């Protein structure tokens, strides 16, 4: 094993690159008494030693952060006088390691295994050794100022020889067989006395705080009750105001309904009834026309008989003979059927228009009724423009069904054709 203090002194004058190259050449036999790979990892040692020589633990702490599941294995490592200020050695296995004179200020050693480690003369000020295993460790001359030893295992440790234990936290620590020394006991006694005084002061302050809190809570309760009363009164006044306004609106609505809407609704009902029955009449007439056309179609033009009035005045029924007479008979039949169907179509269109007007009247009645219901159920806007906008989208369809009855839908040539056929038959 090399003389590490001399080796460190030799590296101080070299560059960082030369330091890294020199450390890379080290072997486990040079730096540890335990070469078992299960307890010692040379890569861990080299990285930690490089950072220590550069007084910069950034790379080491980054390695720990990125490999949180990896436990540093440094059993029996030679780290005499090494600067490990602020190093993250959480859970590290440093059993039997030689850390004599090492700088461990602010180091994070929570849960670390330092069993039988040599920490003589090491500076551990502010270090976190919470729940660390320090059983059998050597702490002669070590600086333990403000060290957190909560729950640590200090069995068999001689703390009497440490140079400073002020503000050290030994709460919950295992001190079985440990030598605390008379100085620590006296300091602990003085600390207990001060703690009692502090506890009495804290208790008095808590009582004062509780008394003030009760006073403020009572004031806050009274203020809240007063505020709730004011809110309830404001809500009651507003509700009464809205109720009076609503009643006034209802009276206005009822008065307007009686003066203006009731006559309109009555006229719409009469018009709806009149249009409905007129539509039914047109449909009946159209149906009669279709029935008449069908009955005419079933008359056989080829068995048609005509009256032959002779000079003596006797009437004789004779069957139609000759092609010309058959054509005239067929044309006569066609003209009659066409006329009947045209009239049926006209009356059906007329009935449809009357029915449309009847439905429009019904829809307008529904609109007026619903508008009255809406105004009764909900407060109406205060100004005319808002009221107009409220009903702007209601009953937009005002087109009359008679707009669909256009003159071009009835071909005037049909009437002319019927008239011409009748004239030819007279000839």
Residue 101: pLDDT over 90:
yes
pLDDT tens-place string over residues 139-161:
988 998 899 999 999 888 887 77
pLDDT for position 106: 92
What average pLDDT does this structure show over 68-91? Answer: 93
Cα three-residue angle 145-149-150, rounded to 5 degrees: 135
Gap between the Cα atoms of 224 and 294, Å rounded: 91
pLDDT-derived band at 299 (thresholds 50, 70, 90) equals: low
Residue 387: pLDDT over 80:
no
What average pLDDT does this structure show over 85-113? Answer: 94
Instruction: Tell me the β-bridge partners of 174.
Output: 153
Gap between the Cα atoms of 97 and 77, Å rounded: 5
pLDDT for position 423: 54
What average pLDDT does this structure show over 197-207? Answer: 84
Residue 61: pLDDT over 90:
yes
Decide: 141 and 162 in contact? Cβ < 8 Å. yes
Higher per-residue confidence, 426 vs 150: 150
CATH topology of domain 1-179: Pectate Lyase C-like (2.160.20)
pLDDT for position 131: 94
pLDDT for position 204: 87
User: What percent of the chain shows pLDDT beyond 90?
Assistant: 27
pLDDT-derived band at 374 (thresholds 50, 70, 90) equals: low
pLDDT-derived band at 337 (thresholds 50, 70, 90) equals: confident
Gap between the Cα atoms of 360 and 401, Å rounded: 9
pLDDT for position 118: 93
Higher per-residue confidence, 60 vs 394: 60
Poorest-confidence range of 8-22, 79-93, 306-320, 399-413?
306-320
Gap between the Cα atoms of 137 and 133, Å rounded: 9
pLDDT-derived band at 313 (thresholds 50, 70, 90) equals: very low
What average pLDDT does this structure show over 335-359? Answer: 87
pLDDT for position 304: 45
pLDDT for position 43: 93
Q: Is 74 helix (H, G, I), strand (E, B) or coil?
A: strand
pLDDT tens-place string over residues 205-264:
888 888 888 898 898 888 999 998 999 899 988 888 888 887 887 777 777 677 767 787
Tell me, what DSSP letter sits at residue 305? E
pLDDT for position 388: 56
Residue 309: count of CB within 10 angstroms of its CB: 10
pLDDT for position 241: 87
Three-state secondary structure of 221-270: HHHHHHHHHHHHHHHHHHHHHHHHHHHHHHHHHHHHHHHHHHHHHHHHHH
pLDDT for position 167: 78
pLDDT, averaged across the chain: 78
Tell me, what DSSP letter sits at residue 382? S
Residue 93: pLDDT over 80:
yes
Concatenated DSSP letters of 146-199: T-B-TT-B-TT-B-TT-SB-TT-B-TT-B-TT-B-HHHHHHHHHHHHHHHHHHH
**Residue 83 Ramachandran class (φ > 0 left, ψ -120 to 50 alpha, else beta):** beta
Each domain of the chain, given as residue ranges in start order, spans 1-179, 250-426
pLDDT-derived band at 362 (thresholds 50, 70, 90) equals: confident
Decide: 165 and 188 in contact? Cβ < 8 Å. no
Gap between the Cα atoms of 79 and 57, Å rounded: 15
Residue 360: count of CB within 10 angstroms of its CB: 20
Gap between the Cα atoms of 157 and 135, Å rounded: 6
pLDDT tens-place string over residues 123-134:
999 999 999 999
pLDDT for position 65: 93
Higher per-residue confidence, 19 vs 161: 19
């Amino acid at each position: 094993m090399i003389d590490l203090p001399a080796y460190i002194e030799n590296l101080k004058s070299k560059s960082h690159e030369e330091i890294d190259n020199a450390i890379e050449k080290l072997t486990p036999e040079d730096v540890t008494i335990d070469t078992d790979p299960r307890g010692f990892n040379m890569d861990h040692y080299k990285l930690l030693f490089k950072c220590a020589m550069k007084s910069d633990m950034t790379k080491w702490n980054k390695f720990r952060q990125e490999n949180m599941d990896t436990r540093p294995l440094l059993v029996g490592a030679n780290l005499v006088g090494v600067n490990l200020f602020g190093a993250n050695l959480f859970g590290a296995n440093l059993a039997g390691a030689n850390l004599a004179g090492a700088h461990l200020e602010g180091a994070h050693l929570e849960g670390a295994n330092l069993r039988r480690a040599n920490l003589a003369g090491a500076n551990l000020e502010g270090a976190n050794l919470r729940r660390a295993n320090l059983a059998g460790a050597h702490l002669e001359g070590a600086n333990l100022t403000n060290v957190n030893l909560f729950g640590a295992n200090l069995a068999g440790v001689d703390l009497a020889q440490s140079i400073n234990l002020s503000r050290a936290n030994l709460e919950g620590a295992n001190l079985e067989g440990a030598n605390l020394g008379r100085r620590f006991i006296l300091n602990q006694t003085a600390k207990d006395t001060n703690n009692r005084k502090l506890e009495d002061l804290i208790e008095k302050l808590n009582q004062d705080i509780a008394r003030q809190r009760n006073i403020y809570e009572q004031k806050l309760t009274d203020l809240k009750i007063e505020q709730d009363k004011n809110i309830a009164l404001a809500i009651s006044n507003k509700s009464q105001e809205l109720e009076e306004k609503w009643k006034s609106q209802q009276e206005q609505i009822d008065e307007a309904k009686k003066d203006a809407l009731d006559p309109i609704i009555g006229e719409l009902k009469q018009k709806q009834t009149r249009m409905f029955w007129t539509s039914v009449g047109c449909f009946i007439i159209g149906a009669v026309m279709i029935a008449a056309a069908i009955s005419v179609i079933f008359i056989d033009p080829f068995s048609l008989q005509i009256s032959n009035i002779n000079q003596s005045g006797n009437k004789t029924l004779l069957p139609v003979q000759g092609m010309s007479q058959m054509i005239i008979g067929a044309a006569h039949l066609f003209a009659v059927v066409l006329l009947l169907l045209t009239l049926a179509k006209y009356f059906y269109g007329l009935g449809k228009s009357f029915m449309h007007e009847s439905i429009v009247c019904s829809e307008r009645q529904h609109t007026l009724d619903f508008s009255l219901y809406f105004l009764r159920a909900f407060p109406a806007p205060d100004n005319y423009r808002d009221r107009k906008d409220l009903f702007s989208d209601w009953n937009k369809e005002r087109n009359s069904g008679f707009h669909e009855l256009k003159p071009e839908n009835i071909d005037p040539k049909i009437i002319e054709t019927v008239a011409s056929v009748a004239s030819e038959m007279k000839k």
